[in-house]
Structure 1
Amino acid sequence: MAKRFPLILIIWLLTDIYFFQAVKTLTANPIIHVAYRLIDFVLIAGMVAIIFVRRSGKTAQLLITMLMAFMLLTFVPRLFSLPVLLAEDITRLFRDFPQRAIWVSELTVALAAVIFFVVLFGITRGRHFYRVRRETLYFPDLPEAFDGFSVTQLSDIHSGSFTSDSGVQKGLDLVNAQASDVILFTGDLVNNKASEMDRWIPAFSKLQAAYGKFSVLGNHDYGDYVRWESETAKQHNLVRLKQVHGDIGFKLLLNESVSVNKDGQSITLIGVENWGKGGFHKYGDLEKAANGIADGSFNILMSHDPSHWDAVTLGHHKHIHLTFAGHTHGMQFGIELFKFKWSPIKYVYKQWAGLYEQAGKYLYVNRGFGFLGLKGRIGMWPEVAVITLKKAY
């Protein structure tokens, strides 16, 4: 945070100064001008304070959460409404810079107001605004018994962030309503500690699937992001977390594979531990997990981090037909309208949300069931993914 602070501050100030031009065009009221500046002063002071306070305590975490919310409420509406002012300034270049048109400033402020309420909804209600996303995929070598086989995928539950029983239950009811053949969970059950799931075990254990529930670990499941009193305590936490997967009825796959059988035919389900680029641990071992898989089998992989697909899976000697991943959360912020999809996370991950295909191999990146950091979701709503497998004749 400290290293990025100067850049964040510069962007903040530039958007602030530019948007203020619309405010000044609409009103000369000094009270409004002072209030506008006061809000920015408080937020920038909060940003500075975060650099110098301990971030491990509950008070500090609450401060960070509140600051993130207020920053988004002020920064995002300004940022997305500024192109209106910019378009006007481009025309003013060719008109000897006349005074700003009032209607343009009104449009700018009105657009900012609309975006403000979208952001407000995301922060207050977006965390449990679950969406079902469906895809149907066709494979010529899919065993006939699995024609129409449905898979519900969950990812990034992050139970340590949950506070609303009714909100979480809303999402779980939506999962069961899909009546899928299997449920796959692709990691990050907790934020840091296995105990974060204690409250939610009864609810999650009621998830139902005819042919089983399977899971893998994500980067947050190993306890790598919290200070432990000893290495032994950290290892005990991981042991308990693995037990929790069993407590909620999921078969945890640790660099291994299992067969899912139906009407005398089978498909292979592979699960690897977390493997990620960019400084993340590489616990996953696809070679080990795929060892012994018969040639010609239909293979589905669960791998938490989508960077594993490009780096390892695509080039593996076993044909992995379909990979399920998560991890990115779609950054919990973005825009999805019709076929248009954008989030800042796309500049970090090549595959970051939804379905991807290369050389007949598919990757589905789940936007996540839960949330982390920002206690909300803006545009990138929490997701229950349903993939239906069909045989291509």
Structure 2
Amino acid sequence: MNSKALIILGVVLVVITSIDLYAFKGIRLITENISPMYRQIATGIYWLFNTTVYLSLIWTVLNLDKFRLPEYTNIFFSISALLLMSIATKLVFNIFHGADDLAYMGSKVFHFFQNGSKVNPSGDTISRARFLTFVGAGLATIPLGAFAYGYTKGRFNFRVIRKNLSFKNLPKAFDGFKVIQISDIHIGSFPKGHESVAKAIEMINSRNPDIIVFTGDLVNNFASETDGWIEVFKNLKAKHGMYSILGNHDYGDYVQWDSATEKIQNLDAVKKANRDIGFDLLLNENRAIEIDGEKIGIVGVENWGLKPFPQFGDIDKANQGLGNVPFKILLSHDPSHWDEKVTDHKDMDLMLAGHTHGMQFGIEIPGIKWSPVQYKYPRWAGLYEKEDQKLYVNRGFGYHAYAGRIGMDPEITEIILKS
């Protein structure tokens, strides 16, 4: 391990230990009136959990060189979920536990500068401190429960979101045409053979789609992540075909390759995996779908994102030959493409994207739609419109960076086209 990694590990451990020690002060306060045996049990459980976090963090730093290898992905993402759960829970607890300490210290400083006198805590200081600490303990169960749910169930809790989208120029033969969209599979993040993936495919097929579109990020980095999964995804069925594009992760840009040739070979293998599944992979290309003599176009571009993401997508090239087709669906991985380029192409009636995952964390209830990712991506989940054009951003099939989803379930989008 190099000196920089050691310094980072040391700083992180100091910060986390400081948070833990202050939280432990609160634990001691709220357990002071229980029997010594139960108090010791509570203390033991608390430090056993923290020791697990410390050892996991140390192991992560010692094995950073393996971070992007498929066989280590689940371990790293699970550790990140554990770390986030630990920090979020204790921070909520410490805010309330520390409120009385801050108030007391503020009063002490104020009186010192006021008259130099000492301040004695009021008779109810301990009871008030205990009350606030109990409140903090109760509220801390919210992030604790949320992260536990996100890890154990949320990341596998697929939901179908149904949208009826009307277009003036949709050919009548396509009225009621059903498009199923999935995005950001990140198959290397799933435990090998996990039953949730097969169940999600059953959910898709049960919708009896006319077409299935996949808007990129089949893998995290390596084509080998698809080993054992191709046969599972081959079960996808659609009446008029399945179409896919590449996402930013599919290009292998986040890995140090031994040679440029190795990187190209990996990308070729990712493309082959798309085709082996049954997707018609569109690389700045298009296809026309015909029903009763009428046509719509499926336009697929390579990844285009705001820098430093690659900008391989070429709408003009992808659109060649579709001049007489009255309605077009554009598949583009990154929703940034919409504002930067797509709205200048008025013949792209509907754009389907993914990429953001809804940050795998957010709140979506009637009247409230929020996620931290919205501060980076204004179009981050759901439907957006500008004049006659529409954009739909899928929240993602898989997960990345941490093994969990909180308030942002994995999504299968069912779009019904209406004329």
TM-score tier, shorter chain, comes to: 0.7 to 0.9
**Residues of 2 paired with 1:264 and 1:193: CA distance?**
42
Higher mean C-alpha deviation, range 245-254 or range 340-349: 340-349
**Residues of 2 paired with 1:338 and 1:128: CA distance?**
23
**Residues of 1 paired with 2:98 and 2:182: CA distance?**
41
Matched, 1:73 2:85: yes
> Does the CA contact (< 8 Å) of 2:19 and 2:90 recur in 1?
yes
**Residues of 2 paired with 1:155 and 1:56: CA distance?**
26
**Residues of 1 paired with 2:58 and 2:256: CA distance?**
24
> Residue 199 of structure 1 aligns to a residue in which SS?
coil
Counterpart in 1 of 2:414? 386
Counterpart in 1 of 2:185? 157
Which residue of the other structure, out of 65, 75, 88, is the alignment partner of 1:55?
65
> Does the CA contact (< 8 Å) of 2:187 and 2:225 recur in 1?
yes
**Residues of 2 paired with 1:290 and 1:17: CA distance?**
60
Aligned AA for 2:294? Q
**Residues of 1 paired with 2:329 and 2:16: CA distance?**
44
> Residue 253 of structure 2 aligns to a residue in which SS?
coil
**Residues of 2 paired with 1:272 and 1:278: CA distance?**
17
> Residue 151 of structure 1 aligns to a residue in which SS?
strand
**Residues of 1 paired with 2:269 and 2:156: CA distance?**
27
**Residues of 2 paired with 1:198 and 1:45: CA distance?**
31
Aligned AA for 1:27? T
Aligned AA for 2:279? F
1:91, distance to aligned residue in structure 2 (A):
10
**Residues of 2 paired with 1:85 and 1:339: CA distance?**
32
- How many residues are aligned here? 389
1:368, distance to aligned residue in structure 2 (A):
1.0
Matched, 1:271 2:281: no
Unpaired stretches in structure 1, ≥5 consecutive residues: none
**Residues of 2 paired with 1:361 and 1:82: CA distance?**
48
Counterpart in 2 of 1:354? 382
Task: Give the alignment of 1:12-161 within 5 angstroms.
Answer: 23=27, 25-28=29-32, 31=40, 32=42, 36=46, 39-40=49-50, 43=53, 47=57, 50-51=60-61, 53-56=63-66, 64-79=76-91, 99=125, 100=128, 102-161=130-189
Alpha-carbon distance change, 249 to 60 in structure 1, aligned in 2, over 3 angstroms? closer
Counterpart in 2 of 1:314? 343
Aligned AA for 2:207? Q
Aligned AA for 1:310? D
> Does the CA contact (< 8 Å) of 1:81 and 1:109 recur in 2?
yes
> Does the CA contact (< 8 Å) of 1:215 and 1:250 recur in 2?
yes
1:36, distance to aligned residue in structure 2 (A):
4.6
TM-score (norm 1): 0.85
Alpha-carbon distance change, 115 to 222 in structure 1, aligned in 2, over 3 angstroms? same
> Residue 346 of structure 1 aligns to a residue in which SS?
helix
> Residue 65 of structure 2 aligns to a residue in which SS?
coil
Deviations 1:275-298 (A, max 9, x none): 111311111111211233326721
Matched, 1:344 2:372: yes
**Residues of 1 paired with 2:350 and 2:155: CA distance?**
28
Alpha-carbon distance change, 84 to 362 in structure 1, aligned in 2, over 3 angstroms? farther
Counterpart in 2 of 1:373? 401
1:383, distance to aligned residue in structure 2 (A):
1.0
> Residue 337 of structure 2 aligns to a residue in which SS?
helix
> Residue 278 of structure 2 aligns to a residue in which SS?
coil
1:21, distance to aligned residue in structure 2 (A):
7.0
1:12, distance to aligned residue in structure 2 (A):
5.9
TM-score (norm 2): 0.80
> Does the CA contact (< 8 Å) of 1:55 and 1:61 recur in 2?
no
> Residue 180 of structure 1 aligns to a residue in which SS?
coil
**Residues of 2 paired with 1:89 and 1:44: CA distance?**
27
Instruction: Choose 1 or 2 for highest CA Rg.
Output: 2
Which residue of the other structure, out of 252, 260, 264, is the alignment partner of 2:289?
260
Alpha-carbon distance change, 88 to 353 in structure 1, aligned in 2, over 3 angstroms? farther
Alpha-carbon distance change, 4 to 367 in structure 1, aligned in 2, over 3 angstroms? farther
Unpaired stretches in structure 2, ≥5 consecutive residues: 108-120
1:160, distance to aligned residue in structure 2 (A):
1.7
1:354, distance to aligned residue in structure 2 (A):
1.5
1:133, distance to aligned residue in structure 2 (A):
0.9
Aligned AA for 2:302? E
Aligned AA for 1:208? K
Which residue of the other structure, out of 230, 238, 243, is the alignment partner of 1:201?
230
**Residues of 2 paired with 1:125 and 1:344: CA distance?**
21
**Residues of 1 paired with 2:193 and 2:383: CA distance?**
30
1:353, distance to aligned residue in structure 2 (A):
1.5
Deviations 1:194-241 (A, max 9, x none): 232231111211211111111101111122222333322322222232
Higher mean C-alpha deviation, range 38-47 or range 103-112: 38-47
> Does the CA contact (< 8 Å) of 1:150 and 1:389 recur in 2?
yes
Alpha-carbon distance change, 50 to 144 in structure 1, aligned in 2, over 3 angstroms? same
Which residue of the other structure, out of 226, 240, 257, is the alignment partner of 2:255?
226
Higher mean C-alpha deviation, range 96-105 or range 341-350: 96-105
> Does the CA contact (< 8 Å) of 2:93 and 2:133 recur in 1?
no
> Does the CA contact (< 8 Å) of 1:159 and 1:189 recur in 2?
yes
Aligned AA for 2:83? M
**Residues of 2 paired with 1:338 and 1:353: CA distance?**
15
Q: Identity over aligned residues, as a percent?
A: 42
Alpha-carbon distance change, 290 to 71 in structure 1, aligned in 2, over 3 angstroms? same
1:16, distance to aligned residue in structure 2 (A):
5.8
